[in-house]
Amino acid sequence: MTDVLLAVGLALGGLVLGSIAAPITRRALGNRSQPAIREAAKGAGSFVFGLFSALGLVAALGVASPDSLKPLPGDIARFLPRAVVAGLLIISGRIVATLVVTAVGRAMLKATGRPQKPVLRTIEIVIVALVALIAAGQLGIDTTVLNILVAAIAFGGALAMALLIGIGGRDTSREIAAGRALGKYLAVGDSIDVAGVQGLVTEMRATVIIVRTGDGEVVLNNTMAQSAPMRLSRISRDTSGG
């Protein structure tokens, strides 16, 4: 009876230690300045929790049935490297997904003037799913079903991205057309008052204009600037052609 209670205590102790160590790990990595490391904090915390839980279960098994642990050193020697690689793959996958999503998000924001959260979320899910499949293969798990599942996710993600990009492309085309129309009478350095934004035009991009106001810079979509009534104070322009 004592062995049973001790085994239960060890198993619960592993869970408790994992519950304590996981948040500490997440906070330690979450306070770092690098976004990729902060994003990896979740995966690292889960990895630490699983590690402590597994150690608690192994200790409990050693108390309840010592003979069952005799082949354990050999099993650990064979399995541990693969488990470490799988854990590192999961953490690295989260970092890579964050870096890719951040880069793509900045590029799309610069091109369209608005964040494309559904597209970015789809990219992140596809990358994490592919990395999880590779990690499962490292652990020796039969990945036949997972291959089909990930293929379905990748296909669905590609289809969703195509639809979202198509819709976004239509909006982008409208913004570009509006920008060309604005360029006929608006220039950098002009002072404008439009759609509740009053300030100096500092940049005219393909889809947006940047206006410096008293409170800072404001990004204004070309279509909004074109459709709303605008009060314009032009800068002096050299029209002599010389």
Based on the structure, what is the number of domains in the chain?
1
For 215, counting Cβ atoms within 10 Å of its Cβ (0-12 exposed, 13-18 middle, 19+ buried), the class is exposed
**Is residue 94, in this structure, part of any structural domain at all?**
no
Per-residue pLDDT, 94: 77
Question: pLDDT of 182-199, one tens digit each?
Answer: 888 888 889 999 888 889
Domain CATH for 197: 2.30.30.60
Name the nearest CA neighbour of 141 among 69, 211, 82. 82
Parent domain of 226: 185-233
100-114 burial string, b = 16+ CB within 10 Å, else e? ebeeebeebeebbbb
**Is residue 88, in this structure, part of any structural domain at all?**
no
**Is residue 229, in this structure, part of any structural domain at all?**
yes
Of all residues in the chain, the percent with pLDDT exceeding 70 is: 67
Question: pLDDT of 212-230, one tens digit each?
Answer: 998 888 888 888 888 888 8
Q: Is the pLDDT of residue 62 over 60?
A: yes
Give the dihedral sign, CA 56/61/64/69.
Answer: negative
**Is residue 112, in this structure, part of any structural domain at all?**
no
Per-residue pLDDT, 211: 92
Q: Where are the alpha helices (DSSP H) in the chain?
A: 2-30, 35-64, 72-112, 117-138, 144-183, 222-227
Return phi, psi of residue 134, to 5°. Answer: -65, -40
What are the structure tokens assigned to 106, written together? 């900045």
Query: Rounded CA gap, 74 and 79, in Å?
Result: 9
Q: Is the pLDDT of residue 242 over 50?
A: no
The DSSP bridge partners found for residue 137 are: none
**Is residue 171, in this structure, part of any structural domain at all?**
no
**Is residue 54, in this structure, part of any structural domain at all?**
no
Q: Is the pLDDT of residue 120 over 80?
A: no
**Is residue 39, in this structure, part of any structural domain at all?**
no
**Is residue 206, in this structure, part of any structural domain at all?**
yes
Return the biggest CA–CA distance within the chain: 101
Whole-model pTM: value is 0.42
Q: Does residue 56 contact residue 13 with C-beta atoms inside 8 Å?
A: yes
Per-residue pLDDT, 74: 63
Q: Which of 33-42, 88-97, 139-148, 187-196 has the lowest mean pLDDT?
A: 139-148
